[in-house]
Amino acid sequence: MAIDLVRSKSGAAVHARRHQVVIVGCGFGGLFAAKTLRRADVEITVIDRTNHHLFQPLLYQLATGILSEGDIAPPIRHVLRHQRNTHVVLGEVVDIDLDARQVTVDTLGQRSRIPYDSLIVATGASQFADDDRDLDYRLIQVGIGTQLTNELP
Ligand SMILES: Cc1cc2nc3c(=O)[nH]c(=O)nc-3n(C[C@H](O)[C@H](O)[C@H](O)COP(=O)(O)OP(=O)(O)OC[C@H]3O[C@@H](n4cnc5c(N)ncnc54)[C@H](O)[C@@H]3O)c2cc1C
């Protein structure tokens, strides 16, 4: 259902509200979900703790200096700029209240709550390797990819 009727205390419908979809994380999963819903009659909020969508398979090219950060990590707002039903929030989701249907977002120490009707959690996976000598693990962040570039002969 795309439209919810909001009712006054007397029970009369006062206005319609679009179905709110919150997507946490804008990697492959979150971005695909947002794009799939681009023509749906819903209001989408994409929340990510970084301002960019990182195309991880190209991290090797970043580390070897073939591509730059901007080539593989465009701003999420830029990627989704033509999607009228979508807005982007920078911040880390630190809590999900399933009963109240709200997520709590921490943006530079400032906390806010965002309500949802439908929630998509696309926060990726933690790495199996936690040894900083492991190349894949070190490639996972753009900043580290840049650092590796400087270390390569
Ligand atoms: C070097 C490398 C090469 C790869 N090559 C390939 C390949 O050739 N083919 C292939 O299919 N796959 C490849 N992969 C794997 C592929 O990139 C990942 O499977 C894919 O990126 C996972 O997407 P995701 O959306 O699940 O998670 P991610 O891309 O990790 O996205 C998760 C997003 O959630 C955000 N996030 C996390 N927690 C929070 C929070 N609490 N609040 C707000 N935001 C949050 C993160 O900032 C991130 O933007 C490769 C990976 C690497 C590292």
| Residue 4 Cα distances to 15, 27, 81, 95, angstroms | 9, 29, 26, 25
pLDDT tens track for 24-37: 999 999 999 999 99
Q: What is the pLDDT of residue 48?
A: 98
Q: What is the mean pLDDT of the chain?
A: 86
Residue closest via CA to ligand 1's atom 12 equals: 57
| Dihedral sign for Cα atoms in the order 52, 58, 59, 63 | negative
* All structural domains of the chain with their residue ranges: 15-151
Mutation choice for ligand 1 from 35, 45, 47, 49, CB with most ligand atoms inside 8 A: 49
Mutation choice for ligand 1 from 23, 56, 64, 141, CB with most ligand atoms inside 8 A: 56
> Which has more confidence, 13 or 1?
13
- The CATH class given to the 15-151 domain equals alpha beta
How far does Cα 54 stand from its chain's mean position? 10
